[in-house]
Structure 1
């Protein structure tokens, strides 16, 4: 799907306020409400974006964020990622080039829960060679906004 300026204006307004009404968007960008509705439905159908609730992990008791780099045996990426996907603490899993084959982002209630995840969960997964745990000390930016 090719996006035009109107689509980007709609996306920008929704990023600022996901509850913004179609009529307000239409007024602000100078198109009809039907145009906004149609454009949003088309973008949703084409998976340009999705409506989600972005929960602040710290407000719900998840006070430890870890970025964990995994070095894996060749050919084990998919199997390891599939085993990590069901864990509620794991928010992101990606395969990368460079020092780490897989990188995961995970949130835990406390350091003990993180240690348990590393010592029990990760140590029990075949194909993981090494684990590099990095705990967030201070957050400077956390956004899912990609449109100006």
Structure 2
């Protein structure tokens, strides 16, 4: 594994192109960057081994699947030692799509997707607030997501 790999301009160009369309053929990238397809393959493999490229995925629009409510929930744990068990319980909930261990007021900050406000209420009452390790929660409902991007290499 190539630790602390510093991508050069070609690597950054490949990353940007793959971020735009991860299905772009290496031959097409090779033409775009005026190198051989083998060079593209080697560069991509090196970035995978270095952990820069963690995988590829299909991007889903939750609203198209009926998930109209996005919210963020700040969680205060009863004790810091409860973090691993609380996290395991939260990870088991399909509605929890992201979780962060944070500093400041909240111990854990999670992103939750639900089909409706009623569904969110059920998740809060019957799932999240039944986790013994949780002292309290604060829910912030997202009205829109005007900026959504990843880091540009």
Scaled to the shorter chain, the TM-score interval is over 0.9
Q: State how far apart, in whole Å, the 1-side matches of 2:112 and 2:90 are.
A: 10
Matched with 1:8 is: 12
Matched with 1:83 is: 89
Provide the alpha-carbon RMSD of the alignment. 1.3
The reply to whether residue 63 of structure 1 matches residue 68 of structure 2 is yes
CA drift of 1:42 comes to 2.4
Matched with 2:116 is: 110
The gaps in structure 2 that reach 5 residues or longer are none
The gaps in structure 1 that reach 5 residues or longer are none
Structure 2 residue matching 1:42: 3-state secondary structure: helix
Runs of 4+ residues over 4 Å off in structure 1: none
Matched with 2:131 is: 125
CA drift of 1:136 comes to 0.6
Q: Deviations over 1:90-147 (max 9, x none)?
A: 111111001111000010011111101110111211121111011111221122x212
Q: State how far apart, in whole Å, the 2-side matches of 1:132 and 1:85 are.
A: 18
The reply to whether residue 146 of structure 1 matches residue 138 of structure 2 is no
CA drift of 1:20 comes to 1.2
Matched with 1:38 is: 42
Give the number of equivalent residue pairs: 147
CA drift of 1:47 comes to 2.6
Q: State how far apart, in whole Å, the 2-side matches of 1:85 and 1:78 are.
A: 10
Q: State how far apart, in whole Å, the 2-side matches of 1:45 and 1:116 are.
A: 42
Q: State how far apart, in whole Å, the 2-side matches of 1:101 and 1:118 are.
A: 17
Superposition TM-score, scaled by structure 2 size:
0.90
Alignment of 1:9-24 (within 5 A): 9-24=13-28
Matched with 2:78 is: 73
Matched with 1:27 is: 31
